[in-house]
Chain A
Amino acid sequence: MPGEDTSKIILHEENCTGCRICQFICSFTYFKKFIPEKAHIQVVTHKIPPVISFRDSCTHCLKCVNHCLYGALELMEGGQ
């Protein structure tokens, strides 16, 4: 379930390639290692399109949004 803050992130799952870059950057920021399993964003990559969800623990730091290069995560206007 999206946490309250992440509702400001608009998902465009149809653009998601399953690259997991969002999970890599999130986990590295919060756990100091590359452990996508623990990231606050989860992506089920073998589905087409991949299924993206946020954990309640997400801090809304938007790192994942800034690192997604495919336009699958977008900040809602005025959402900062």
Chain B
Amino acid sequence: MDWNGYTGNILTINLTSGKISVEKENVADLRTFIGGIGMNCKLAADLIKPKTDPLSPENVIIIGAGPLIGTITPGSSRIIGISKFPATGAIANSCGSMSFGYHLKQAGFDHVVITGKADHPVYLKIYDDDIELCSAEKLWGRDINQTTDSLRAQYGDCGVIAIGQAGENLVLFSLALVDKTSTFGRGGLGAIMGFKNLKAIVTKGTKGIDIANPTEFMKLYEKLLERIRNYKHRDNWIKLGMLRNTPLAAMLGARGERKKAKQCNERTYLKKLKKYRFACPSCPIGDKDLLEIKEGEYSGLTNYTSSVINPFSLFLSKNINTYNEAVKAFDEMSRYGLDSITVPALIDFCSELYNRGILTQEMSGIEWKRDFNTFIKVIEMITKREGFGNLLADGWKRILEVYEDFEKDMVVIKGLEQVFDPRMLRLGTMEFEQVVNPKGAHVASGGSPTYLSPGRPLDMFTPHFYRMGIPESAFKRIFSPPRKEMGINVGRLTRYAEDWYTVLTSQGLCARAQMNRFWGLESVTAFYNAVTGFDLQPADLRLAAERTWNLLKILNVREGFSRKDDKFPAQWFKPMQFGEMKLNFQDFYGGIQITPEIATQLLDDYYDERGWDIQTGIPTSQKLKELGLEKYL
């Protein structure tokens, strides 16, 4: 058969034996489990045995690049990785952007499957048909930037997934970076690669991607490009990226941290930090940042990041006071491959224990001051697993075993700390999704019109519902919240947010707001058909997305997860106090305080909307039958 969009190839590498093999994808599978995330989940179900130790040769890393990747389709560069993650014990997906997917597809592969464990440090080279495990002895011990730069000095333009010292030292919340820019694998992909002695994957491709229906494709593309060209906020997005709509400054202001709020803005970014704007392959609204510290002790330091809001988020830490400190600390974590959300949360936790006299200087080897130097010191301690850093490097699950009395004080869900606090941002689908995502607190798959716009008028939802392909029959239920004043039922809506995310991720499309807004279920289907030659209806794509999400859930049911793990953090129900001001856990419109009863109802509604058992939070046998997934549970 002719492969269009898809390359049709799955590359498997066994690091233990060194065996490299290529298999053809099964077309029937591609109809059932579409693209990157769909086939990733299917491969994971086949290859990751239940109860596998995440840090064992048996754990598998699967990287998928959807059918639109490697083409000119706007924003089609998003890869997806699945594995069993050590920070949480969950089998979860994680996305990354930049050029890895582009090169992998151009080299002729849709998926890479990595099993086993090498007996010495290696990197995997995928250069068209030249596939090789190469010695990484010289790269071991070096940070992500050094590793990536060194590989690029050798291979020129290429996509690189690399880990730093945190991954090598098996820090359970270490991650990898794609092209030293995009985080990949929150929850411990760094440690999984480190355990496998896999320092990096480098890929470069020159084979090209065929299109089933070029005329139809170009028609669709030109039409979409015109819309993007004429989008009135496009220039502003390119100028500011995600800084355009981040609530950070408002959050800092609300906390009374005016000095920081004043730095967290456009002026600082443009005048003091921005060095260069770059983009993923095929993206017409690029927002990747090269930052540079321009004055002071760290003058000349440059940092590649998927957005300036990543370092700016560190302003929320009491240890960070200036933008230069934020960039320096963020850069340090990036190079080592540490999760920049986890580290400040751990510092908050330890500082609190220290203040209460539970953690002493003798015990931890460090005086927990709320300053920059302490932040940097903790980064080092964790990365190198020095002293108390050795415990911190094991992540929340282990820490809360040692300090079990504090579990109620922590905003940790299934082993990952929260990303968005609904007391700051109210309860939208992203905030809610942190509770139900199989991976643990994760926001990316909860995107919907509630994103960063608390109080958005209700009538603005319906057009987006049509765009996301939510069936009309669900509208009434979504507009029926537990209390009338809430306007919207975020539990029910979250189901469709996840499905929409899955549709985009199956193709390899960027889900960021500025790209997401141009896509709808119908246009994604039209592109998919024109590129691949399949003849699907929008409803088919939607059903495949639902099937994929259910399979992801089942993989985690097999690991023992159920409703008991989808827990609203107790802290959310207590007000956040800043001086005189209190922030409560409120609904999206701010009219209702969310009580444990309302939260429970929303959770029931989420399961109900998914067709899962409300008591257990597990897909019912009827649902599995309907989706053809019986054999997986």
Contacts and interface: CB of A to CB of B under 8 A. Distances in A.
A49 B72 contact: no
A31 B286 contact: no
Given A19-B279, A20-B281, A28-B214, A37 B286 contact: no
A35 B209 contact: yes
Nearest to B286: A17
A24 B228 CA distance: 17
B209 to A, nearest CB: 5
Interface in B257-295: 275-284, 286, 288, 290
B131 to A, nearest CB: 18
B209 A37 contact: no
Range class of the B interface residue count: 35 or more
A17 B98 CA distance: 12
A19 B152 contact: no
Given A24-B71, A33-B208, A44 B276 contact: no
A19 B283 contact: yes
A35 B238 contact: no
Interface in B199-216: 205-211, 214
B156 interface: yes
Interface string A1-30: 000000000000000011111001101100
B208 A31 contact: yes
B208 A19 contact: no
A34 B282 CA distance: 11
Interface residues of A, number: 26
B206 to A, nearest CB: 4
B211 A19 contact: no
Contacts of A18: 278-279, 281
Contacts of A32: 211, 214
Nearest to B155: A46
A35 B208 contact: yes
B366 interface: no
A68 B282 CA distance: 10
Most chain B beta-carbon neighbours within 10 Å: one of A18, A34, A36 = A34
Contact of A21 (B157, B209, B276, B284): B284
A18 B179 CA distance: 13
Given A32-B214, A46-B157, A38 B208 contact: yes
B369 interface: no
A37 B282 contact: no
Contacts of B218: 28
A22 B374 CA distance: 47
Contacts of A45: 99, 157, 278, 281
B157 A69 contact: no
Most chain B beta-carbon neighbours within 10 Å: one of A27, A37, A45, A67 = A45
B222 to A, nearest CB: 10
A71 to B, nearest CB: 10
B157 A19 contact: no
Interface in A35-67: 35-38, 44-46, 48-50, 67
Given A37-B106, A70-B286, A24 B72 contact: yes
Nearest to A18: B278
Interface in B213-228: 214, 218, 225, 228
Contacts of B214: 28, 32
A20 B284 CA distance: 10
B71 to A, nearest CB: 5
B7 to A, nearest CB: 12
Contact of B277 (A17, A20, A36, A69): A17
Contacts of A44: 156-157
Which 8 pairs show the lowest CB-CB distances between chains A and B? Answer: A35-B208, A24-B72, A17-B279, A37-B206, A19-B279, A17-B286, A33-B208, A34-B209
Given A18-B281, A35-B207, A37-B206, 5 more contacts: A19-B286, A28-B72, A33-B209, A44-B156, A46-B152
Interface of A: 17-21, 24-25, 27-28, 31-38, 44-46, 48-50, 67, 69-70
18 contacts: A17-B278, A19-B282, A21-B72, A28-B218, A33-B211, A34-B70, A34-B209, A35-B208, A37-B205, A45-B157, A45-B278, A46-B179, A48-B275, A48-B276, A48-B278, A49-B276, A69-B234, A70-B286
